[in-house]
Structure 1
Amino acid sequence: MKKLLTLAVMVTALVLSSCKYDDDDIWNSVHGLEDRVAKLEELCKQMNTNISSLQTIVTALQNNDYVTGVTPVMQSGKEVGYTITFSKSNPITIFHGKDGQNGMDGTDGKDGTTPTIGVKQDVDGIYYWTLDGDWLTDERGDKIKAEGTDGKDGADGENGSDGTDGTNGKDGITPQFKIENDYWFISYDNGDTWTQVGKATGEDGKDGEDGVGGDSMFTGIDYKTSTDYVIFTLADGTQIKLPTWSAFEALQRLCNETNTNLSALQTIVTALQNNDYITSVDP
C-alpha cells in the first residue's frame, strides 16, 4: 500500500510539472502588437498632418504667397521634419517619410502598404488630389480639387435695383485617413463617409511580427540649393516651387526700379517736348 501511495505521489508531481506553462511568448506577442498599433496611430496622425500641409502649400502657390522660414523639427536629438512659415498662410509641419517594416524573426511577413497621397496639376491648371498615382475621385467620378475655387461674380442690376452678390469660393477638400481593423480608410467629406483603400499591417511571417507601412508623401524638401525658392518633392516626383522672402524682395526691388525708370523716362519725354536741355549727368 505504501509503495502504491508513493507511486501515486510521484505521478501527480510529474503531471503537475508537465502542466507548467510558459506564457512569455504570448505576452511578447501582445506587447509587440501594442507597439505596432502605436506606430500605426502615429503614422496616421503624421499622414493627416502632411496632407493638410500639402493643401496649404498648394493654396500658398495659388495666392502668390511666399516662404519666410524653414525650421527643422527635432525629437530626441533627431530631425523628423520641418516647420514652414509663410507671409500670409499659417505655419505648417511636414514629417519625413518612413520606410515600412518587414515581419521579424523567421520568414518575413509582407509589408503593410501605405496609401500614397499627392497632388497633380491637370491641363486646366488646377491641382487635384491623387491616390497611388491616380486621380482621387468622388462617388460621381469627378476629380477632387486640392485648391479652392473662386466665387462667381454677382449679376449686374437693372436700373433702379441692385445686382445680386457674388457667391463665395469653395475651399479645396482635404482627404483624411484612419486605421480600423488593420485597414486604411479614406474620407473626403470631413469624415462623414469612409472608403477602405488597403491593409495597414502586413501579413505575419512564420513566427514573425506584422509588417508596418511607411509614410511616403514627401520625398524631399530642398531649401538650400537656392535662396529664391523652396522645392517640395512628392512621392510621384511632382515638384512644387514656392518663392522665398529673398525672391520677393528681389522682385519688389525690381518693381521699384522699373517704376523709377518709367517716371524718369516720362520726364525725359516732357523735357524734349519743352525744348529743355541737360545741365549735368552725375553717377
Structure 2
Amino acid sequence: MNYFKSILLTAFALFALASCDTDDLRDDVDNLKDRVSSLEAQVNLLNDNMTAIKRLLEGGQSITNVNEVSGTYTLTLSDGSTIKLTQGSEGTVKIPEITVNTDGQWEVEGVVLTQNGTPVQAVGTPGTDGITPKFQITKDGSFWQVSYDNGTTWEDVKNEKGEKVSAVSSGEGGSTDTFFESAKVEGDFFVIKLTSESEPISIPIVKDVICKIVEPTEGFKNGVWEIGYGKTATTEIEIKGENIIANGPAGWTVSVSDIDESTNKATLSVTAPANAATLTRATADNSCEVTVQANTNASWAVAKIQVKAIEIIDSYYELYKAGGTITIGGIEINKETFKDAVYISDNSPIEKEGIYFIKEGITTSYNGTGTITNLIIIGDNSQVKSSLNVNKQIKLIQPTASQGHFICKNINIVGTTELNNQIFTYNTDNNPFKYVIFDQCQIVPAPGKHLLYLSTNTRSIENFYIENSIFKSEETNEKNVISLGGSTSQEYQNVVFKNNIFYCISGKVSKFSLFKGQNAGITKCTIENNTFINMETATTAMVYTSKLPTISIKNNIFWTNTTGANDCYILRIGNPSTGDICVNNIVYKSMSYTWQMCYGGKLPFAGAEELKSVTSNPFDGGTFDLDKGIFIPSAEYAQYGASIN
C-alpha cells in the first residue's frame, strides 16, 4: 500500500533531524518497519478471512477435512479446493465488527454495507453472485475504507452514527486483529463464532461425499471448457455420494458414467448445442455452467465448470465445396458469392486476387505485383492457424462502386524484411474501399512499418475490422494500425477493434495508435475487450481524429511496466462527440506519467467514464507470458481485456 511508503519516508526524514546515535536510529527504523509490516499483514489477513467466510456462507460445498496449525485452519472442501482461516492475535489494528445479517447482507459496525444505495450481498441471490468487500486503511493510518470492485475505488466505512470507523485502538490494552472468537470441530461440524456474532456458524464435515471435476485435457482455455457445436467432450470426475445429479443449461446434454467404487472416479460427458440457433436467449453468449452434485443425507457437494460452445471446423474448404457458408465480419462467403476457390496444400505463392484456403500448418507467401479488388485468405482448420508471409505489398483498388473485399481469417500474417513497407495500401481515388476484415489472425507488420498507411486525401476504407486477433510489434518509437498523412481528411464509416491483444514483444512502443488521422473522421469507432501490453501513446493518442460522433469503448485493459516518456491518451478528438458508450476501462501502470481517456482531460461526452487506475496487477493469479503472447486476467478482472479462443 502506498501510504506505508509515505510513513517510512516521513519517519526517515524525522530521524535524520534528530540527534541520536546510529544504533538508536537503526533500532527505531527496524521497529517502525516491523510495525508497518504487522499493520499490512493484519489488513491482508482481514481480506483473506472475508473471502473464506463468504465461500463458506455460499454453501454448495461441505468440508471433508480440517487441519489447524498455529491458529490457521486449512479447510478441504468437497470439490478438492482449500480455504484458510486465521484467528489472528494481539496487534495494532482494530478490526471492525463484521457480520452477515439474516438477509445474507454484509454488516460492518451494525450498518449494512451499501453500494450505490443497494445492500451488498455476502450470499448471492438467484441470478446474482455475492460480493467480497476488500478493506484498507486510509493513508494516515486512521480509518477503515472498503472497496466493492477489488480495489479500483474506495469509500469510508461508517458506523450507525455516520462516523468513520477507526482502524487503531484507543486507551490501554492494545487492540486485536482477531476476526473470529473461536473455531473448533464439534462432532460432524466445523463451528466458527465471529467476534461480532452472537450465534456461531456451523458447516458440516462430511468425509463420505466428494464431488470434483478434473480439468479437461483438451479444449480448456482461460478457465473455460470450449466444446464444438454438436460435439461431445469428456473429462474425469471424482464423485462419491448417495445421489448424483448432473445439469447443463438449455440446449446442452450432460451425463455421468457408472462410478468405479474403488477409485470414486467416473466420466463426465458434455454435448454442446448443434449450432448457435439452438441456444436460448439466456445462454446466447454460448457460455454457461455445467453442474454436478452428490449428497449424503442432508449434506451436498457441488462442482461446477464453465463451458462454451464454439465453432470447430476441420476444413473450411470442404464446407465451402459442399455449398456451406462461412461468415466473416458479417460477410457471407460461399460458392455463389465468391467463386473458384483455390486450395493451397504446399508453399505455392499467392500472386493474384481470388479466394484461397491454406492447409493447416502450411506457410505460403504473397508475391503479387498487380492490384487487387477481392482477396480472401482463410486458414483451413479453425483450430490451427496457417501462415502468410507478405513479401510484396498488397495493393487494393476499387475502380467502381462494387464491393471490394480484403478478408483474412485464421492466418498468421507477417510483413517480411523483403517487403520493407506497410502490409497493404489502397490506390483508388474518390471511392472508399468497402471491407477490410481480419478475424482470428496474428498480424506482425514489417519492422518500423504499420499495417496500413494512406497519404492521399481522396482514399479511405469504409469498413475496417480487427476481431479476435493478435497484433505484435517490435520495440519501436512509433507503430500504427491505420496511419494517415497529416492532410488526409477522408471519412471512415466503421472502425472496429474487438477482442484483440496488442502487445510489444520486448520493451515498448512509445507512440502507438489504432487510428492516426488528425484531419480524418470516423462515423463510429468500437474498441471493446482489448488487451494492450506496453503500447504507449504520447499525445497522438490511440485514436486521433477530427470527428467521432459515436463511440463504444469498454472493458479494455491498458498495461505497462515501462518507465514512460509521455502522458498517454486513448482518444483525441477535434470536435466533441455526441455520445454512446465509454465505461469500464482500466489501466495498470508502473510509469509515473498520466493515462487519461481523452486528450486534455475532458471526457468525450456526458456520461462517459475516465480510465480507472488499478493498484493490483490484473494478471496476478492469471497468465502473463510475453514470449507466447498469452495474457489472461485473474478471475477478479475476467470481464476486462481479450478472451481469444
Is this a same-fold pair by TM over 0.5?
yes
Amino acid corresponding to residue 116 of structure 1 in structure 2: E
Counterpart of 1:37? 36
**Residue 181 of structure 1: CA displacement?**
2.8
Structure number with larger C-alpha Rg: 1
1:51·1:175 contact (CA, 8 Å) conserved in 2? yes
Q: Are residue 175 (structure 1) and residue 133 (structure 2) matched?
A: yes
SS at structure 1 position matched to 2:56: helix
Quote the Cα distance in structure 2 between the aligned partners of 1:90 and 1:239: 23
SS at structure 2 position matched to 1:114: coil
Pick from 66, 69, 75 the counterpart of residue 70 of structure 1. Answer: 66
Q: Are residue 216 (structure 1) and residue 181 (structure 2) matched?
A: no
What does 1:17-32 correspond to in 2, within 5 Å? Answer: 22-32=21-31
Counterpart of 1:147? 123
Q: Are residue 242 (structure 1) and residue 203 (structure 2) matched?
A: yes
What does 1:119-138 correspond to in 2, within 5 Å? Answer: 119-122=100-103, 127-138=104-115
2:65·2:207 contact (CA, 8 Å) conserved in 1? no
SS at structure 2 position matched to 1:35: helix
Quote the Cα distance in structure 2 between the aligned partners of 1:36 and 1:113: 14
2:94·2:177 contact (CA, 8 Å) conserved in 1? no
Q: Are residue 113 (structure 1) and residue 113 (structure 2) matched?
A: no
Query: Per chain length, whose mean CA-contact separation is higher, i.e. which structure has more relative contact order (CA < 8 Å, sep 6+)?
Result: 1
**Residue 133 of structure 1: CA displacement?**
3.2
What does 1:162-201 correspond to in 2, within 5 Å? Answer: 169-179=127-137, 180-183=139-142, 184-197=144-157, 198-201=165-168
**Residue 118 of structure 1: CA displacement?**
2.3
Alpha-carbon spacing, 1:27–1:221, altered in 2? closer, same or farther (3 Å): same
2:75·2:82 contact (CA, 8 Å) conserved in 1? yes
SS at structure 1 position matched to 2:145: strand
Q: How many residues align?
A: 188
Amino acid corresponding to residue 189 of structure 1 in structure 2: D
Q: Which runs of 5+ in 2 are unaligned?
A: 1-18, 158-164, 210-240, 243-294, 300-645
Counterpart of 2:550? none
- Higher share in strand: 2
Alpha-carbon spacing, 1:32–1:51, altered in 2? closer, same or farther (3 Å): same
For the aligned residues, what is the CA RMSD? 3.1
Quote the Cα distance in structure 2 between the aligned partners of 1:92 and 1:254: 22
**What whole-Å deviation, never above 9, does each CA across 1:125-161 have from its counterpart, x for those lacking one?**
xx11111233222231x321001221xxxxxxxxxxx
Identical-pair percentage: 31
Counterpart of 1:80? 71
1:118·1:217 contact (CA, 8 Å) conserved in 2? no
**What whole-Å deviation, never above 9, does each CA across 1:28-58 have from its counterpart, x for those lacking one?**
3322211110001111111111000000000
**Residue 202 of structure 1: CA displacement?**
5.0
Alpha-carbon spacing, 1:89–1:196, altered in 2? closer, same or farther (3 Å): farther
2:189·2:204 contact (CA, 8 Å) conserved in 1? yes
Quote the Cα distance in structure 1 between the aligned partners of 2:77 and 2:180: 19
SS at structure 1 position matched to 2:48: helix
Counterpart of 1:96? 87
Q: Are residue 59 (structure 1) and residue 48 (structure 2) matched?
A: no
SS at structure 2 position matched to 1:57: helix
1:43·1:214 contact (CA, 8 Å) conserved in 2? no
- Higher share in helix: 1
Quote the Cα distance in structure 1 between the aligned partners of 2:298 and 2:154: 50
SS at structure 1 position matched to 2:176: coil
Alpha-carbon spacing, 1:52–1:89, altered in 2? closer, same or farther (3 Å): farther
1:182·1:199 contact (CA, 8 Å) conserved in 2? no
1:137·1:143 contact (CA, 8 Å) conserved in 2? yes
Q: Normalising by structure 1, what TM-score?
A: 0.57
**Residue 194 of structure 1: CA displacement?**
0.9
SS at structure 2 position matched to 1:149: coil
2:95·2:179 contact (CA, 8 Å) conserved in 1? no
Alpha-carbon spacing, 1:139–1:213, altered in 2? closer, same or farther (3 Å): farther
Amino acid corresponding to residue 48 of structure 2 in structure 1: T
Quote the Cα distance in structure 2 between the aligned partners of 1:68 and 1:119: 24
Amino acid corresponding to residue 57 of structure 1 in structure 2: L
Quote the Cα distance in structure 1 between the aligned partners of 2:24 and 2:154: 36
**Residue 213 of structure 1: CA displacement?**
4.3
**Residue 219 of structure 1: CA displacement?**
1.3
Quote the Cα distance in structure 1 between the aligned partners of 2:297 and 2:20: 79
Q: Normalising by structure 2, what TM-score?
A: 0.27
Counterpart of 2:504? none
**Residue 201 of structure 1: CA displacement?**
4.3
Q: Are residue 230 (structure 1) and residue 190 (structure 2) matched?
A: yes
Quote the Cα distance in structure 2 between the aligned partners of 1:204 and 1:240: 31
2:38·2:91 contact (CA, 8 Å) conserved in 1? no
